[in-house]
Structure 1
Amino acid sequence: MPNNSQPTFAELGVAQEIVDALAEQSIVETFAIQQLTLPIALTGQDLIGQARTGMGKTFGFGIPLIDRVFDDADVAELDGTPRALVVVPTRELAIQVGNDLTMAAKYTPLTIVTFFGGRPYEEQTEALAKGVDVIVGTPGRLLDLYKRFDLRLDQVAVLVLDEADEMLDLGFLPDVEKLMEALTHEHQTMLFSATMPPAIIQLARGFMQQPTQIRAEDQGADQVHATTKQVVFQAHKLDKLAVVARVLQAKQRGRTIIFVKTKRSCGYLANDLAELGFRVGMVHGDMDQSAREKSLRGFHQGEFSILIATDVAARGIDIDDVTHVINFEVPLDPMTYVHRIGRTGRAGNSGTAVTLVGLDEVRLWQSINDELQLGIDELPEWFSTSPELHEALQIPQHVQSQVGKPVPVFSGGMPRKSGGKSGVSGKHRSSSRAREGAGQKRGSRRS
């Protein structure tokens, strides 16, 4: 039964067709960001919305977008040209947002299509030719389709920039500006993100009409979920693999995402863990789209419980029951840290975020700690056999790194080399064993 702590979508005036579709998924009451944004967004006003990852931002803009395109007199009748455009930074996020909007629009006549790179142009141009009402896409592919005269943007009445802090970063800004120049029709603009630095807000106000800024938490609230336990410590570079192998055997560990900085590290770590007997998958930018989708689908469906990812996946993995996030390498900036660990502790669930800080990463961690005011100033030095590590993460005392026979990586690893079942050269496998041995020796001395 509802606890009446938050108003329902119906009480906020959302169209019954949308309310019914949400109710089928047991989505009835609003999250805080939705409660605050819907009354404003449904009127067509510009707004800037901020809430922590996993707290309902997609429906915060998606529900009013669908409602207005479906049933707002200020939006022209549907004629097959796009009435709404949602721009997102990554393919994974595009897929997640597209799926959520499609679900919510189930009982409306809206056609919602997702566009991103890595897919043939032909299937996307065919979809546009048939008629599309709402488009979700990444900047590069959207701009390509527009330049090819396949995509019309002159009738867009609602524009959304999701993860706006990244969308307005210098890497994306030129493409985003060109897309906005193509929106010649009067339109509502909504920006949403978990983080909204002042410089981004100032930039955004330059192309918005008196936007209302909404933050779902108090100004002084932490940028990470209160339900997420953060465990941060120094780990020797040669012992990190053994540390991770122990963490993966923690009590009540469920779905786990391990973040690394590069696709090379992603492949090597996936293969190393697979050789220790862990069933893992991975996702990084150099994988073709079908392989990335296969990995994410396998992770979501429970075919494996450990996903190794570069930051391409930090935004866009929408799974509420990820119990652990492991930063195998410290992220390069505070906002990336927020988005990484935001994959756990979502929607009221508890989670654990583990960060392994190498000796060469201490200053990088200090800058993250200072900017986010985490209060984690003193970093203990733990090894894979340190009792403190086992106690902090509820790891049984006598576990070993090897948990079974080597298994293949779910969707393939780095390019295969001769001499190894999982695609790692003999030289690299030897270095893995060396790291394991080094970790045990050093750990036993310090324990």
Structure 2
Amino acid sequence: MFSQFALHERLLKAVAELKFVEPTPVQAAAIPLALQGRDLRVTAQTGSGKTAAFVLPMLNRLVDLKQKRVEIRALVLLPTRELAQQTLKEVERFSQFTFIKAGLITGGEDFKEQAAMLRKVPDVLIGTPGRLLEQLNAGNLHLEHVQVIVLDEADRMLDMGFAEDVERLCNECPNREQTMLFSATTGGAGLRDMIGKVLKTPEHLMLNSVSQLAEGTRQQIITADHNQHKEQIVQWLLQNETYDKAIIFTNTRVMADRIYGHLVAKDYKAFVLHGDKDQKDRKLAIERLKQGGAKILVATDVAARGLDVDGLDLVINFDMPRSGDEYVHRIGRTGRAGNEGLAVSLICHGDWNLMSSIERYLKQTFERRVIKEVKGTYTGPKKVKASGKAAGVKKKKTDKKGDKKVAAKRKPTAKPKPNAPLASADGLAPLKRRKPAPAAE
């Protein structure tokens, strides 16, 4: 029960209003430590309730502030606009019975309007690193009074090249008392380096090992001959699988637009989401998907983080993601909150090694699936030929003494005939044989 946490009564009232009863494992583990003011480094799968795990302790720190709203007190950094917008909604829901105000700073919105919002000084500022730095450099953002920083989806921010931006923003908060870092994967050396720089003696909470991520999702691979064959498989899956909502991931914007065009031509209710779309189109796509106006979203990895849509139960990887962490975040869109999902990856010849490396990273073996109606010729790499007799190579006979027996059977080198001319040392001209000296008389 959430009532077991030492939360302010106004926050508990909001929790009850939102019908939150049992905390998820990540909430049960993180909230008590966060309320103590500890720095946290938390690894938990997407859809596990991470947002509430840091929002509630953060709001609890601010709810009884007696000062007037003259400084920003909390900063939340996220990798994408969509995730930032969803986090803002969560903060507003949990703070509905308090006087805490939150603001949003992301790319794709009017810069001057954001500057005007900053002059009103929200208690909690939520944003993406790039635009926050632009406002900081313009002199519109002041962070010296920030008490708590949250880095959500920190591994993704590193993947997107925000490491230096995040570090600088953290350095602009010299008086912070608490830093919490959340991610869905364990990350690599870059994440460990960031943890060492921005966290102080953190408490490490790993709620899921990599091999346990997305346990509620069936993971399958289907081999394909080429991209046109992949498109046929996609059409078959959309026609024959049972799903409420589906998302198709590609690695390029061009391919996303191509697939989207084919779907629209066949009267599917679909939207496309990638980096070339402006903020208005991105909002429209996600809202239509959430409200049921569209059943299918075609997207690049820009939508892999921060997309929280109920009923999203089918993920198709038209292109394999470029890393194991990206794969985890893609399939994390389905099988959320205990629900089951299906993730299907389409594998051509050039995808096999990448797929195998992701299997090793996750310590899992994906289910191999064949659809007879759209079966191709490619079924995976050919088996390596066996050595020795199986490969048609005859071995030389040897005994226990190795090569001695063979050497013994070799013919001796032919001796020169008695009357044959001898070669000179330099091999240029034959030497004349000397006549034997006459016998002594």
TM-score (norm: length of structure 2): 0.82
Partner Cα separation in structure 2 for residue 283 and residue 167 of structure 1: 19
Partner Cα separation in structure 1 for residue 201 and residue 95 of structure 2: 29
Q: Is the 8 A contact 1:229 1:351 kept in 2?
A: yes
| 75-84 vs 50-59, which moves further | 75-84
Q: Which residue of 1 is the match for residue 425 of structure 2? A: none
Secondary structure of 2:6's match?
A: coil
- The alpha carbon displacement at 1:383 in A equals 6.0
Partner Cα separation in structure 2 for residue 145 and residue 202 of structure 1: 26
Q: Is the 8 A contact 2:106 2:132 kept in 1?
A: yes
What is the aligned residue count?
377
Structure 1 unaligned spans of 5+: 1-7, 387-438
Which residues of 2 match residues 191-340 of structure 1 at below 5 A? 191-197=181-187, 199=189, 200-217=191-208, 219=209, 222-237=211-226, 238-340=228-330
Go from structure 1 to structure 2 and tell me whether the alpha carbon gap of 1:129 and 1:206 turns closer, same or farther (over 3 Å shift).
closer
- The alpha carbon displacement at 1:98 in A equals 1.0
Secondary structure of 2:240's match?
A: coil
Q: Is the 8 A contact 1:236 1:383 kept in 2?
A: no
Residue 21 in 1 paired to residue 14 in 2?
yes
Go from structure 1 to structure 2 and tell me whether the alpha carbon gap of 1:190 and 1:276 turns closer, same or farther (over 3 Å shift).
same
- Aligned mate of 1:49, from 42, 47, 53: 42
Go from structure 1 to structure 2 and tell me whether the alpha carbon gap of 1:78 and 1:283 turns closer, same or farther (over 3 Å shift).
farther
Partner Cα separation in structure 2 for residue 206 and residue 181 of structure 1: 10
Structure 2 unaligned spans of 5+: 380-441
Partner Cα separation in structure 1 for residue 223 and residue 263 of structure 2: 21
- Aligned mate of 2:95, from 101, 105, 111: 105
Q: Is the 8 A contact 2:11 2:95 kept in 1?
A: yes
Which residues of 2 match residues 132-143 of structure 1 at below 5 A? 132-143=122-133
Secondary structure of 1:295's match?
A: helix
Q: Is the 8 A contact 1:49 1:213 kept in 2?
A: yes
- Aligned mate of 1:80, from 70, 77, 88: 70
Q: Is the 8 A contact 2:167 2:198 kept in 1?
A: no
Q: Which residue of 1 is the match for residue 382 of structure 2? A: none
Which residues of 2 match residues 22-37 of structure 1 at below 5 A? 22-37=15-30
Q: Which residue of 2 is the match for residue 156 of structure 1? A: 146
| 251-260 vs 15-24, which moves further | 15-24
Q: Which residue of 1 is the match for residue 439 of structure 2? A: none
Describe the superposition over 1:204-232 as per-residue Cα deviations: whole angstroms up to 9, x where unpaired.
Answer: 12321110001123x5x624222111111
Q: What fraction of aligned residue pairs are identical, expressed as a percent?
A: 37
Letter in 2 for 1:178: R
Describe the superposition over 1:361-419 as per-residue Cα deviations: whole angstroms up to 9, x where unpaired.
Answer: 1111111111111123x855656534xxxxxxxxxxxxxxxxxxxxxxxxxxxxxxxxx
Describe the superposition over 1:96-126 as per-residue Cα deviations: whole angstroms up to 9, x where unpaired.
Answer: 1111111111111011111101111111111
- Aligned mate of 1:171, from 161, 165, 169: 161
Residue 345 in 1 paired to residue 335 in 2?
yes
Residue 366 in 1 paired to residue 356 in 2?
yes
Secondary structure of 2:98's match?
A: coil
Partner Cα separation in structure 1 for residue 279 and residue 160 of structure 2: 25
Q: Which residue of 2 is the match for residue 69 of structure 1? A: 62
Letter in 2 for 1:305: K
Q: Which residue of 1 is the match for residue 117 of structure 2? A: 127
Letter in 2 for 1:322: L
Q: Is the 8 A contact 2:223 2:378 kept in 1?
A: no
- The alpha carbon displacement at 1:10 in A equals 1.8
Partner Cα separation in structure 2 for residue 162 and residue 317 of structure 1: 14
Q: Which residue of 1 is the match for residue 2 of structure 2? A: 9
| 265-274 vs 249-258, which moves further | 249-258
TM-score (norm: length of structure 1): 0.80
Q: Is the 8 A contact 1:165 1:193 kept in 2?
A: yes
- The alpha carbon displacement at 1:79 in A equals 2.1
Q: Which residue of 1 is the match for residue 174 of structure 2? A: 184
